[in-house]
Amino acid sequence: MNFFSGLLNGFQEAWENKFRSLLSMMGIILGVASLVAMMGVAEGLIRDFRAIFERSGGIERVSIDQTKVPEWQKTRASISSKRTLRDLDAILDNVTLADYATAQFNANWKEMIYGNRKYWSQITGVTTDYQPVFNVEVADGRFIADIDVHEAQRVAVIGTNVLENMFPKDVSPVGLSFNIAGLPYRIVGVLKKQMYIRGGRNILDRLNQVVYIPVTAAQSQFGKLDEVHGIYLKANNVAYLSELVSQTENTLLATHRGIHDIEVKTREEDLIELKKNEAGFKYSIGSLAIISLIIGGIGITNVMLASINERIREIGVRKAVGARSSDVFLQFIAESISISLIGGVLGILFSFALVNVVMSIMPPNTVNIILTTEAFLLGFGASVFTGVVSGIYPAFKAAKLDPITALRYE
Amino acid sequence: MLILSKAVKEYKMGDSLVRALNGVDLEIRKGDFLAIVGSSGSGKSTLMHALGLMDTLTSGTLHVNEQETSKLNSAQRATLRSQEIGFVFQTFNLLPRLTIENNVLLPAQYSRRAHPAKLPDAIAVLERVGMAHRIGHKPNELSGGERQRVSIARALINKPSLILADEPTGNLDSQNMVNILKLFTDLNAEGQTIIIVTHDPDVAKNARNFIRMRDGQIIETDLKR
């Protein structure tokens, strides 16, 4: 008696007792379907988080934050300085482990005028490297160039919301001039529209609202010369992030005259937090599905016990013609697995229906459900595992039947 | 071929101990056709189960083809049973879900031989019992006599040394009884060793030898060889 013929027996048994088998499989079907569907929900959320993380520079992005002067350097606090373009120049000259480095000047919300149209937007002063560091994509024209920064040119790259609200439709605004807080700027580029719709809204819409101008132009128009509000680097190899941090810290200690008033921060902690959240999602979803599978397993055990009670004479005959207890055990485990396999396949099919129902009930773009091969394999594996576990007791009961007693059973 | 020596089998029934076999000595030789007769409770079924390695002895020994069986575990006994003994039951005991082909090949699944019996062997034994034309049928499509023929084919599939038949005609009409007994006689004539357990003297007459049992002992022996 091999395992394969046991499986065939199980399929035959399930087919001959369709209704009973279907009832016993319900738990497995629902368990597998909910496992696969919930994994899909988790996967959707995880991909959303990852997409946002990547679009904001990914793990390669390193930021320079301003910190308080430490207690032990308080006596020298008067020579502490803000982050400046000198820091950026030093980084560009000395930090070899970064491909790109950029500075950012936040001019906040300013009024813009084009003809008789007015619009408020967030004005951000940047350098050329801002584009690769933040993965900014330009749809029309170009991004801020080195010469724009060097000469503090009044040029601007606008987001699509600005375009849609201020400028004529169907005509490229590149080359047009408009006013930002009273000074004229020439449009050199339009950003690609950023879309990531969740819960009925574009969670990346703020990126369509921005206007980028050269950091130097922003400084001269809106702030103190030289001060910037952020410095960011893009690592050329994430394997050397800690070395990059050291290299940057050493460089900035020189420009800050030995004062520890800056902190170089990587996004590794964010990523660890992200991964923790992912694991948390999966475990909580998995535990819900396991409860369904346990109920499914009990159903299978019940049906297997009923089946064995109906087939006691068969077990006696099999033993009389030479079946060992282990053969009988294997046969009933295989039958249990075959029921759970059918349940697993039906559960996977049902998960598609479940996902469609959830998607149709929820408002558009509220949830992102991604059914993965991993979820299918997990669902299928869980059903087989349930089959094995739930078949052990009935199979053991069948295997230890005495052949003489079994043959006399009426 | 089978040597039973000082066989004792005791059961506990409630508080009392029942001795179903009480010092039975029996030798079965190749080619024997033996009927074990006796009334209900005489110990003939217990003897059959002991000879068929379905049950162990409380004391005494059983040699099957010179192999002492009392030391064998249940798995080893199952394999020896599969290879050396074919069972024919009063109620046929064919598995209703399986076709005749699969019923006949059932013992082959468990024979643990390098080359277990396959379809051509099943066809051959079914031809021998006159049932090859029903190979694709299910047991419930067959008459009682036909089912018993299939049951005999199943017993023959592993080419056992011995066929043990427990009241093989008990559920058959007189015509089918004659036919089945004729089949046993023919098989024995071809060299097959057969033991029939029966309470019916008319059935026992078909065997060449018989033993009569009472109270777990052989009380009459007629072993013409």
Reported ipTM: the value is: 0.92
CB contact under 8 A, B106 and A318: yes
Chain B, nearest residue to A5 by Cα: B109
CB contact under 8 A, A320 and B52: yes
A318 Cβ under 8 Å from any chain B Cβ:
yes
B78 Cβ under 8 Å from any chain A Cβ:
yes
Angle between helix axes A268-310 and A18-55 (nearest 10 degrees) is 180
The predicted pLDDT at position A16 comes to: 76
Interval A177-199 mean pLDDT: 89
CB contact under 8 A, B52 and A407: no
Choose the closest CB to A5 out of B89, B109, B111: B109
Domain ranges of chain B: 2-222
Interval B122-136 mean pLDDT: 93
The predicted pLDDT at position A2 comes to: 65
What pLDDT, in 10s, does the model give residues A250-282?
999 888 888 888 889 988 888 888 788 878 877
**Bigger pLDDT: A307 or B78?**
B78
Determine contact, residues B184/B165, Cβ cutoff 8 Å.
Answer: yes
A164-198 b/e (C-beta count within 10 Å ≥ 16 → b): ebbbeeeeebeebebebeeeebebbbbbebbebeb
CA dihedral A180, A185, A188, A193 (to 10 degrees): 10
What pLDDT, in 10s, does the model give residues B76-86?
999 999 989 99
What pLDDT, in 10s, does the model give residues A39-59?
888 888 788 777 778 877 888
Question: Which phi-psi region, left, alpha or beta, contains residue A108 (left: φ > 0; alpha: ψ -120 to 50)?
Answer: left
Q: How far is CA B50 from the centre of its chain?
A: 11
Most confident among A69-83, A326-340, B146-160 (mean pLDDT): B146-160
CB contact under 8 A, A325 and B109: no
CB contact under 8 A, A318 and B79: no
A325 vs B contacts (CB less than 8 Å)? 74-75, 78
The predicted pLDDT at position A199 comes to: 60
Residues in a beta bridge with A106: A124
Position A102 pLDDT exceeds 90: yes
Write out residues 162-221 of B within 8 Å (CB-CB) of A.
none
Nearest to B153 by CA among B167, B175, B140, B168: B168
CA distance B69 to chain A (A): 15
B110 Cβ under 8 Å from any chain A Cβ:
yes
B111 vs A contacts (CB less than 8 Å)? 322
Pick the CATH number of B2-222 from 1.20.140.10, 3.30.450.20, 3.30.565.10, 3.40.50.300: 3.40.50.300
CB contact under 8 A, B81 and A323: no
CB contact under 8 A, B75 and A314: no
Which of A9, A313, A317, A321 is the best mutation test for B, with the most CBs of B within 10 A?
A321
CB contact under 8 A, A1 and B109: yes
Position A36 pLDDT exceeds 60: yes
To which residue do tokens 């076709």 refer? B99
CB contact under 8 A, B95 and A317: yes
CB contact under 8 A, B93 and A407: yes
What pLDDT, in 10s, does the model give residues B144-176?
999 999 999 999 999 998 999 999 998 888 888
Query: What's the one-letter identity of residue A254?
Result: A
A313 vs B contacts (CB less than 8 Å)? 93
A322 Cβ under 8 Å from any chain B Cβ:
yes
What is the distance between the alpha carbons of residues B225 and B222, in angstroms, rounded to a whole number?
9
* % of chain A residues with pLDDT over 90: 41
Write out residues 4-43 of B within 8 Å (CB-CB) of A.
none
CA distance B158 to chain A (A): 10
What pLDDT, in 10s, does the model give residues B49-63?
999 999 999 999 999
